[in-house]
Amino acid sequence: MNKSFRVLLLAIMILFVYELKVNGISSPPNLLREFEGTWEFEKAEYMERFSYTGDYQVKYLIDKPEGLEALTGCFHQSVKRITITDVVYMECPYSFYCGRAIIITVQAPEGVKNLLTVGFDPEDLGKESPTPDVKFNVIGLTYWIEKVDDETIAMTLEAICTENAVETNAAVKCILKKIKF
């Protein structure tokens, strides 16, 4: 049942992104600009919840970027460092991702939330990015993103992790500080 739900959710997300592309809809330019810059890991929270509608409970804190490497495989896209423009360059525990970005606002019960999607255009996959020798290498990687203050953002990666046939509804919230050049 949960696998069917995940497949349905993924299909809806792909259809939504396709609809955005076909109709020429993108995130408001100022919304993406609000998060522009290079951000680096400061700390993270590993959280779990007991139902899809329940609130996340913090299980433990991660105070070093190396701590992200100890997380289960479903969180290997947790963010160590990210550069946000219309193209996102992102360092994760074991990988580097690059893709065009879009931010969509979503009305949630707790208020407006921002959903950052890296690699929203499947046709970009494998093409050269604006940075020489770097190719677009991701499709549909999504994070909830929020601005904490002018120097801090939070990026939350949600996942349903399965270990020994036990599913856990979990998330990692990375707090990132802006790097001044």
Rounded to two decimals, the pTM is 0.82
Per-residue confidence (pLDDT) for residue 72, from 0 to 100: 83
Reply yes or no on whether the pLDDT at 24 is more than 80: no
63-68 own/partner pairs: CB under 8 Å, 24+ apart: 65/41, 65/93, 68/41, 68/44, 68/92, 68/93, 68/172, 68/174
Residue 138, token pair as written in the block: 């991701």
Which residue type does 179 have?
I
Place of tokens 């879009």: 102
- Other Cβ atoms less than 10 A from the Cβ of 13: the count is 15
For residues 59, 107, 119 and 158, what is the CA-based torsion angle, rounded to 10 degrees? Answer: 10
Query: Which of 6-15, 28-37, 119-128, 157-166 is predicted least confidently?
Result: 6-15
How does pLDDT run across 61-77, given as a tens digit for each residue?
999 999 999 998 899 99
Pair 39, 174: CB distance under 8 Å: no
Would you tell me which CATH number, out of the four given (2.40.128, 3.30.70, 2.60.40, 1.10.3470), belongs to the domain 27-178?
2.40.128
Q: Give the residue extent of every domain in the chain.
A: 27-178
